[in-house]
Amino acid sequence: MVKRSVILVFLWIVISTTGICEIVMPKIFSNHMVLQRDQPITLWGLGTPLELISIHLGPLMEQVKVGKNGKWTVDLHPMSVGGPYILTVKGRESELIFEDILIGDLWICSGQSNMEWTNNQFNYQDTDTTFLKTNMRLFKVSIDMDYLPQEDLQGGIWQLLDAETMSNFSAVSYYFGKNLSSEIDVPIGLINVSLGSSSIEAWMSNDALIKFPQFKDEVNTIVSNNKSFEELRLDFEKGKEKWSKKYYLKDMGLDLHWFAKKMDDSDWLEMKVSGFWEKLDTSLVDHDGAVWFRKTFDLPQEYDLPRFSIQLNQIDDYDMVWVNGKKIGETYGRHNFRNYSVETNLLQPKGNVIAVRVFDIGGNGGFSTSAFWGNPIIWGDWKYKKGTVIDADNFKVPLTVNASPFSSPGVLYNGNIAPLTKLKIKGIYWYQGESNVDRAHEYQSLFPAMIVDWRNHFGDAELPFLYVQLPNYTKEASEPVDQSWSEMRMAQDQALKLLHVGRVVTIDIGDAEDIHPKNKIEVGRRSAIVALNIAYGRHFMLSPLYKSHRIEDHRIFVSINQAVEDLVVRDKYGYIRGFAIAGADQKFYWAKATISNGEIEVFCEKVEKPVAIRYAWSSNPGTLNLFNKEGWPVAPFKTDNWKGITEGNRYHSKDARF
């Protein structure tokens, strides 16, 4: 995941030593690309310093001189919908030709797993074969990460839409694009840049993060170091041998070969490693330094692959790993994920031995991530023995890469969004928040800040941005109490204070038992309608919203922003589900609700003097039955500003070591 393309680095070396360089453009440029209509078309890349480059795109022709640093950028005049065109970029010694270029609308689709999961993962097969003939083009970004903004993506290529590419592309992105394309009859380019389990701070730039106290120290360290992953790795390798001998490799376990397959470990203790060792063994509470772990494992039956994967997740802080006495890898940094492999021919069907030297440089130590993230080798009991002890206050910690793609601030923005910001785009489609629900109150400020920041970097203060409000999930609430998912929906909605932001309400189409609800077809359809409103000037009716309320005779009367004549109560008696009211004691009770004289009348015998009302205010409010005639559910809301359960929860980093 974190391996970077070395092409650009190599080309900079060529430029600096010879002054000659073939023309290179970022990976976002390829055959079948969609370029944004009706806006200047920005092209950029590398070339021989001071050479003149000629560019042809359909009827357009432009020339640009390469800068002394080997970089060039040019803006072509806006073009209306059209194509296919050929894009030619020609210098003295080299030429790039990109074919089948369309001019249309370009959307970036980003977020976590519900944006990432493919049609194939949901077992979707589009029965409408007309999609084979549409003008949709797909680009899936190969996820990368870094401390500093990168100039190119790690990988990806534009693909034509067919049965295979549709199957392997984001389901919700695809149905969003399909519905959008059918409505506006314009070529649609979808750039999907998403990663399951990722948190919002990973998608924010250093510029945005540094304004928040909880990220300031960590980001300041990154900015002051001013080194990319590649530079940190090179620096670490230069001083690694000297540092290791002086600080890291002084260990009786190494001297006595505790990693050997046939080493006698009969007197070692046992523990399940999922968690910090301080919580698993009281004798290790104050232990900084090495602890050795050993375990036997068998190959799966009929295993016939050339290599066997060993995923140990995150380890706090460093580790060295041996299998059957052979060292297979080492990693430095508690945030990094440990993904090792060993040649299968070095293993036996049964009785293989894995040895792991875990080295803690201070604070908690051990296998710090749930076994959920690894493969079965991490499960069960491990033998362990204490190794060398260090004084954490005097142990020299080297600078090295120490980042998780899921939660380290800024790393996904730097690796995947920054390389795209020179593009002109139509808008951004965002589906994320599940990884931040425990910090929903913090999300209230992070999410709008991210939107503003992305708009700044894309150079468009009014760039349309739509998001999917999290659906119903987990067991249906039996009592109307505060829950994190309801607070997250409110946190997401803080973005509506910004112009040109649209919300896709999905409170009725989630899954109580699956965080990846399968009805992505409807999510995509609704998302396209919201996009038509905020980006194309349409005026479709969307989810009804709370407008105001009044209290009279122990009852609360709610007004919404759509006429009650346009509401549909899916109940033969006209009773509306999902309302709760509270008095000054802040205790909520389920309430009865009906439509009465143009308002929603809500009351509960247990609340004589109601002061606040909530609707669909739980992680899973169950089956709701209040919709408008277009089938949109009324959006969740509350009228109180009482303290929630996530207030006070925010991002914390144990340290800022990199």
How does pLDDT run across 312-342, given as a tens digit for each residue? 989 999 999 999 999 999 999 999 999 999 9
DSSP letter (8 states) at residue 4: P
How much of the chain, in percent, has pLDDT values that exceed 70?
A: 94
The structure tokens 């038992």 sit at: 513
Give the three-class secondary structure for 548: strand
Say if domain 235-394 classifies as CATH 2.60.120.260.
Answer: yes
Between CA 369 and CA 377, with CA 373 as vertex, the angle to 5 degrees is 95
Count CB-CB contacts under 10 A for residue 446: 25
The answer to whether 560 touches 602, Cβ cutoff 8 Å, is: no
Backbone angles phi, psi at 414, to 5 degrees: -60, -40
Half-sphere exposure of 648 (CA within 13 A, CB side): 3
Three-state DSSP at 525 gives: helix
- Cite the residue boundaries of each domain of the chain with CATH code 2.60.120.260: 235-394
* Half-sphere CA count of 358, side-chain side, radius 13 A: 32
Q: 235-267 burial string, b = 16+ CB within 10 Å, else e?
A: ebeeeeeeeeeebbbebebbeeebbebebebee
| More confident call, 379 vs 277 | 277
pLDDT digits (tens, 9 = 90+) for 538-590: 999 999 999 999 999 999 999 999 999 999 999 999 999 999 999 999 999 99
642 by Cβ neighbours in 10 Å (0-12 / 13-18 / 19+) ranks as exposed
pLDDT band at 658 (very low <50, low <70, confident <90, very high): very low
CA–CA distance, 311 with 375 (Å, rounded to integer):
6
Residue 19: predicted pLDDT: 58
Per-residue pLDDT at 132: 61
Distance CA 365, CA 282 (A): 13
| 8 Å CB contact between 79 and 113 | no
| pLDDT at residue 13, rounded to an integer | 42
Q: How confident is the model at residue 654 (pLDDT cuts 50, 70, 90)?
A: low
Query: What is the pLDDT of the chain when averaged over all its residues?
Result: 94
Q: Average pLDDT for residues 369-384, to the nearest whole number?
A: 75
In this predicted structure, the answer to whether residue 70 has a pLDDT above a threshold of 90 is yes
Residue type, 491: A
User: What are the tokens at 136?
Assistant: 């949709």
The DSSP symbol for 413 reads: I
Confidence category of residue 1, pLDDT binned at 50, 70, 90: very low
Per-residue pLDDT band at 376 (split at 50, 70, 90): confident
Contacts of residue 56, defined as CB under 8 A and 6 or more positions apart, other chains included, come to: 86, 87, 88, 90
Cα Rg, the chain, nearest whole Å: 28
- Is 374's pLDDT higher than 70? no
pLDDT at 6 over 90: no
CA 183 to the chain's CA centroid: 29
pTM for this one? 0.93
CB 156 within 8 A of CB 140: yes
pLDDT confidence tier of residue 373, bands split at 50, 70 and 90: low
CA 29 distance to own-chain centroid: 23
Helical spans, DSSP H, in 336-481? 411-412, 440-458
134 or 355, higher pLDDT: 355
CB 335 within 8 A of CB 400: no
Quote the pLDDT of residue 2: 37
The string of pLDDT tens digits covering residues 498-515 is: 999 999 999 999 999 999
d(CA 284, CA 295): 20
**Is the pLDDT reported for residue 16 higher than 50?**
no
| Residue 636: closest CA among 647, 651, 650, 622 | 622
C-alpha to C-alpha distance for 340 and 308, rounded to whole angstroms:
9
Q: What's the confidence (pLDDT) of residue 624?
A: 98
Residues 162-218 have pLDDT tens digits of 989 999 999 999 999 999 999 998 999 999 999 999 999 999 999 999 999 999 999
**Residue 371: pLDDT over 70:** no
pLDDT in tens, 82-100: 999 999 999 999 999 999 9
